[in-house]
Amino acid sequence: MSTLEIRDLHVAVEDKEILRGVNLTVRSGETHAIMGPNGSGKSTLAYAIAGHPKYTITAGQVLLDGVDLLELSVDERARAGLFLAMQYPVEVPGVSVSNFLRSAVTSIRGEAPKLREFAKDLKNGMDALSIDASFAQRNLNEGFSGGEKKRHEILQLELLKPKIAVLDETDSGLDVDALRVVSEGINRFRATGDTGVLLITHYTRILRYVKPDFVHVFAGGRIVEEGGPELAEKLEAEGYEQYTKATA
């Protein structure tokens, strides 16, 4: 049983305040959707939690099972059980997917996985996400299509088994088939019941496949409305206009 607690989080980029007091608690077994218009600070929340050097925390706390993640380095946060599926995974030349995944799994588990076991896990994971076997030998994200990048993020999610997963617009740029495959992966991950998901999205489409327990509307760098799945339907019908007006 894990809990991610975000308390009054303020974040700035180059002296410009982006997040203005975010409060949110995500527990194992829960799926929270954060929805909001472009520029509302959704991605800033994701990257600030993960520890991207571009973002400066000006106030607040982010606790994972009582440990303040903000005191930890990026890799320590990941080893503490946090995972960020990135919206734009970066290409790393010369580093193969298989080499990268083995290094990541080794780091997270604290010991190298048995080679045969790892190969099996990797193959099963790739099969489940309809990823071609040749993928493992390719360079990390290099020349991947948008869909391949997102599948690869979810493959990592399933291999690394974090306590809390933050999915930053994992649905963006996916066609319906890819969205279904990726959503199934997220649902397999959720089905264990001992992980929490913070799903950041602009569109309600993915929420038809990945049903949230809670929906939060993000605008102007903070949560402006909260509710259950029905809130997503309201947003689908009415859009974000009322929120952007309110904060403008």
CB of 38 to other proteins, least distance (A): 21
Tell the smallest beta-carbon distance from residue 189 to other proteins (Å).
15
Please list, in sequence order, all residues whose beta carbon lies within 8 angstroms of the beta carbon of residue 101, skipping any fewer than 6 positions away.
Answer: 122, 136, 155, 156, 159
Which C-beta is closer to other proteins: that of 83 or that of 218?
A: 83
> CA 160, CA 80: separation in Å to the nearest integer?
11
Q: Which is nearer to other proteins, 66 or 93 (CB)?
A: 93
Residues of the shown chain interacting with other proteins in the complex, contacts defined by CB under 8 A: 50-53, 73-75, 77-79, 83-84, 86, 89-90, 92-95, 99-100, 103-104, 107-108, 139-140, 156, 160
* Helix residue spans in 6-162 (DSSP H): 42-50, 74-80, 97-109, 115-128, 146-160
When the beta carbons of 126 and 215 are compared against other proteins, the nearer one is 126
Using CA atoms, how far residue 12 sits from 16, 64, 97, in Å, is 5, 22, 33
Q: At its nearest, how many Å lie between other proteins and the CB of residue 144?
A: 13
The residue (of 108 and 207) whose beta carbon lies closer to other proteins is 108
Rg (CA), the chain: 18
Closest approach of other proteins to the CB of residue 117, in Å: 18
Q: How far is the CB of 91 from other proteins (least distance, A)?
A: 8
**Could you give the C-alpha distances from 98 to 9, 150, 151, in angstroms and in order?**
36, 16, 15
Strands (E), the chain: 3-13, 16-27, 31-35, 56-64, 67-68, 82-85, 164-168, 196-201, 214-219, 222-227
Q: Identify which of 200, 198, 205, 161 has the alpha carbon closest to the alpha carbon of residue 180.
A: 205
Q: In Å, how far are 5, 10, 82, 242 from 21, measured between CA atoms?
A: 13, 5, 21, 20
Three-state DSSP at 168 gives strand
Judged by CB, which is closer to other proteins: 99, or 130? 99
Whose Cβ is closer to other proteins: residue 57's or residue 104's? 104
Q: Which is nearer to other proteins, 53 or 143 (CB)?
A: 53
Smallest gap from Cβ 77 to other proteins, in A, equals 8
